[in-house]
Amino acid sequence: AQKVTQAQTEISVVEKEDVTLDCVYETRDTTYYLFWYKQPPSGELVFLIRRNSFDEQNEISGRYSWNFQKSTSSFNFTITASQVVDSAVYFCALSEEQGGSEKLVFGKGTKLTVNP
Partner 1 sequence: DSGVTQTPKHLITATGQRVTLRCSPRSGDLSVYWYQQSLDQGLQFLIHYYNGEERAKGNILERFSAQQFPDLHSELNLSSLELGDSALYFCASSPRTAGTGELFFGEGSRLTVL
Residues of the shown chain interacting with partner 1 in the complex, contacts defined by CB under 8 A: 31, 33, 35, 37, 43-45, 47, 50, 52, 91, 93, 95, 97-109
Buried (b) or exposed (e) across 100-109, using 16+ Cβ within 10 A? eeeeebebeb
Query: From the CB of 41, what's the least distance to partner 1, in Å?
Result: 12
What string of H, E and C letters represents the secondary structure of 26-65? ECCCCCCEEEEEEECCCCCCEEEEEEECCCCCCEEECCEE
Query: From the CB of 92, what's the least distance to partner 1, in Å?
Result: 11
- Pairwise CA distance, residues 101 & 80, whole Å: 36
Query: From the CB of 111, what's the least distance to partner 1, in Å?
Result: 12
For partner 1, which is the closer residue by CB, 13 or 105?
105
For partner 1, which is the closer residue by CB, 13 or 106?
106
For partner 1, which is the closer residue by CB, 23 or 107?
107
For partner 1, which is the closer residue by CB, 18 or 55?
55
Give Cα separations from 67 to 22, 49, 78 (angstroms).
10, 12, 8
